[in-house]
Amino acid sequence: MDHCATCYVRNRAICSALEVDEVTALGRIGRHHRLVPGQTLIWEGEDSMLVANVIDGVLKLSTSLSDGREQIVGVVYPSDFIGRPFGTRVQHNVTALTDAHVCTFSSSDFERFAREHPELEHKLLERTLGELDRTRRWLLLLGRMTASEKLANFLLDMSERLTPGGSCGNSPADGFDLPFGRQQIADILGLTIETVSRRLNDFKAQKIIAVPSRRRIEILDRTALSDIAANATL
């Protein structure tokens, strides 16, 4: 498929484990969708019917609390894999935060293809274990770190994940646009919006970052931000 031949996450998405002819075969069972901000691709509680590779854009994983509030439990970026193959029920909503481009597969087609291509199953296992590691780090972030440490880790992670080329060894971006507002950042980090705003202002006052607009972040002193992320408290 032309899409597969020109896909710029081809070498870091889950299909990177496949040979060219195998990618072509996988592409034949895929469909491409473009999402606008706020559009939901997968709904919590539904049968697990769909999996997808993220080609472009940022999406959130969220769950609905008993009182109707939304809790963001993760964020996915280009080259990330979303959905639950070999599962029965979807555990969270998947909703676009920005304009997004995804390559989707029916779960049954993808599962059958994966069984026929053990290298793809192996790559899926690697991704799953990597996600488990990130989840454990996230638990540490939410449960043990101060507000300053949480926000510093969050900004460093964004600078790496929002860099074109992402996990391909490219240098992290010193300037980037956040795909969400301060209230959503607060929800993700388990903080209040007031605390997020105060910590951002602290970082600005110390010339660690600049915030030229509501969503724009520029890292001026990456070493200082990394020191805070490690174990320092402002």
pLDDT at 35: 96
Q: Is the confidence at residue 1, as pLDDT, over 60?
A: no
- Residue range 203-217, pLDDT digits in tens: 999 999 999 998 899
Choose one of 92, 107, 137: the last residue of a domain: 137
Report residue 143 as tokens.
């449960």
81 in Cβ contact with 124 (< 8 Å): yes
Same-domain status, 178 and 217: yes
Same-domain status, 50 and 153: no
177 in Cβ contact with 215 (< 8 Å): yes
Query: Which one-letter amino acid corresponds to residue 204?
Result: K
Same-domain status, 43 and 127: yes
- Residue range 8-33, pLDDT digits in tens: 787 888 888 888 888 888 888 999 99
Same-domain status, 82 and 171: no
218 in Cβ contact with 212 (< 8 Å): yes
pLDDT at 152: 94
Q: How many domains are contained in the chain?
A: 2
Q: What is the CATH number of the domain that holds 213?
A: 1.10.10.10
Cα–Cα distance measured from residue 153 to residue 79, given in angstroms and rounded to the nearest whole number: 21
Query: Which one-letter amino acid corresponds to residue 63?
Result: T
pTM over 0.75: yes
58 in Cβ contact with 72 (< 8 Å): no
Strand partners, 26: none
pLDDT at 170: 58
Cα–Cα distance measured from residue 214 to residue 17, given in angstroms and rounded to the nearest whole number: 39
- Residue range 67-99, pLDDT digits in tens: 888 888 888 888 899 988 877 788 889 999 889
Query: Which one-letter amino acid corresponds to residue 150?
Result: K
Average pLDDT of the chain is: 85
**What's the pLDDT band for 171 if we cut at 50, 70, 90?**
low
pLDDT at 233: 40
Domain that holds residue 42: 2-137
CA angle 185, 188, 190 (to 5 degrees): 100
Q: What is the CATH number of the domain that holds 23?
A: 2.60.120.10
Same-domain status, 100 and 212: no
- Residue range 173-223, pLDDT digits in tens: 789 988 888 988 888 888 899 999 999 999 999 999 999 998 899 999 999
Same-domain status, 114 and 164: no
Same-domain status, 107 and 28: yes
CA angle 141, 92, 10 (to 5 degrees): 80
176 in Cβ contact with 159 (< 8 Å): yes
